[in-house]
Structure 1
Amino acid sequence: MDIISLPESHKNDSNIRNSNKKFCLHELPTDVLLHIFKFSDLSTLFSLSCCCKRFYNIISDDSVWRTRSKVAVMTNQSSEDVIIRSSKFLNAKQKCRISVNWKLGSYVEKCFSTRIKFMPTLILEKNRLWMSKGENIHVFRRQGSFIHWKNPLFVLSNGHCKDICHFVKIGSLLLSGGRDGKICAWSEDTGHILFNKNCHGVSDVRSIDASNDIVVSGSRDSLLKVWRLKRTSLSEEPIAIYNVVNALWSLAIDPTTKNVCCGTTGLFIQESIKLLNLENGTVTSFPVKKGIAIFDIKWESPSTFLTCGYDSMLRLWDTRTNECVCSWMDPFDAAGYCLASDKCHSVLCGTAHNGRVQLWDIRMRLSVQSFFCKSPASSPVYSVTFDPCCMFAALDTSLNVLDFSGDLRTRNDYRSTWGG
Structure 2
Amino acid sequence: MLLTQLPEDVLYQVLLYLDAKDLGRLSQVSKSLRDFVNRDAVWKKLAKECLNTGITRNGTDIYPEIPLKERVRIAQNWFHGVCKRSLPLKWKTKLLPWLQLDVDVLYISQAAHIRGYHLDRDSKKLRRSPSEIYSGHQGDVCRFVLSDSHLISAGSDGNILVHSRRGDVSLRLSGHSQEVNCLDSKDGIIISGSRDRTARVWTFSSYSPRATIAMSDRVWSVALSPTLSSFVTGTACCENFFPLRIWDVERSSCLCHLGSDFRRGAGVLDILFESPFQLLTCGYDTFVRLWDLRLSPQRCVMEWEEPHDSTLYCIQTDGNNMIASGSSLYGVVRLWDKRQTKCLQVFQLSRDAVSSPVYCLRLSSSHLYAALASALHSLDFRQNSTSS
TM-score band by shorter chain is 0.7 to 0.9
TM-score normalised over the length of structure 2: 0.88
Q: 1:53 to 1:332 in 2, by over 3 A?
A: farther
Partner of 1:400: 377
Within 5 Å, give how 1:216-365 maps onto structure 2.
216-230=191-205, 235-283=206-254, 284-286=256-258, 287=260, 288-320=262-294, 321-322=296-297, 323-365=299-341
Give the Cα separation in 2 of the matches to 1:350 and 1:81: 27
* Deviating more after overlay: 236-245 vs 267-276: 236-245
Give the Cα separation in 2 of the matches to 1:188 and 1:213: 14
Q: How much has 1:317 moved relative to structure 2?
A: 1.1
Q: 1:330 to 1:371 in 2, by over 3 A?
A: same
Partner of 1:208: 183
Q: Confirm or deny: 8 A CA contact 1:175 1:185 kept in the other structure.
A: yes
For 1:184, the aligned partner's letter is: L
Q: 1:204 to 1:386 in 2, by over 3 A?
A: same
CA displacement, residues 301-348 of structure 1 (integer Å, 9 cap, x when unaligned) = 111110011111010112232131111112333221111122223221
Q: How much has 1:36 moved relative to structure 2?
A: 6.6
Q: 1:239 to 1:262 in 2, by over 3 A?
A: same
Q: Which secondary structure does the structure 2 equivalent of 1:148 belong to?
A: coil
Point out where structure 1 has 5 or more consecutive residues left out of the alignment: 1-26, 412-420
Within 5 Å, give how 1:7-406 maps onto structure 2.
29-30=3-4, 38-42=16-20, 48=25, 53-54=29-30, 57=34, 60-62=37-39, 64-78=42-56, 89-111=65-87, 112-144=89-121, 146-157=124-135, 159-189=136-166, 191-201=167-177, 203-230=178-205, 235-283=206-254, 284-286=256-258, 287=260, 288-320=262-294, 321-322=296-297, 323-373=299-349, 375-376=351-352, 377-406=354-383
Give the Cα separation in 2 of the matches to 1:351 and 1:59: 44
Identity of aligned residues (%): 29
* Deviating more after overlay: 30-39 vs 248-257: 30-39
Partner of 1:19: none
Q: 1:354 to 1:78 in 2, by over 3 A?
A: same
Q: Which secondary structure does the structure 2 equivalent of 1:371 belong to?
A: strand
Give the Cα separation in 2 of the matches to 1:35 and 1:285: 46
Q: Confirm or deny: 8 A CA contact 1:271 1:290 kept in the other structure.
A: no
Give the Cα separation in 2 of the matches to 1:153 and 1:81: 34
Q: 1:210 to 1:54 in 2, by over 3 A?
A: same
CA displacement, residues 251-304 of structure 1 (integer Å, 9 cap, x when unaligned) = 010001111101011011210111111133331222322220111000011111
Point out where structure 2 has 5 or more consecutive residues left out of the alignment: none
TM-score normalised over the length of structure 1: 0.81
Q: Confirm or deny: 8 A CA contact 1:338 1:382 kept in the other structure.
A: yes
Q: 1:194 to 1:36 in 2, by over 3 A?
A: closer
Q: How much has 1:382 moved relative to structure 2?
A: 0.5
Give the Cα separation in 2 of the matches to 1:123 and 1:133: 13
Q: Confirm or deny: 8 A CA contact 1:264 1:273 kept in the other structure.
A: yes
For 2:246, the aligned partner's letter is: L
Q: How much has 1:37 moved relative to structure 2?
A: 5.8
> How many pairs does the alignment contain?
374
Give the Cα separation in 2 of the matches to 1:374 and 1:80: 36
Q: 1:194 to 1:34 in 2, by over 3 A?
A: closer
Q: 1:351 to 1:394 in 2, by over 3 A?
A: same
Q: Confirm or deny: 8 A CA contact 1:79 1:342 kept in the other structure.
A: no
For 1:215, the aligned partner's letter is: I
Give the Cα separation in 2 of the matches to 1:174 and 1:92: 31
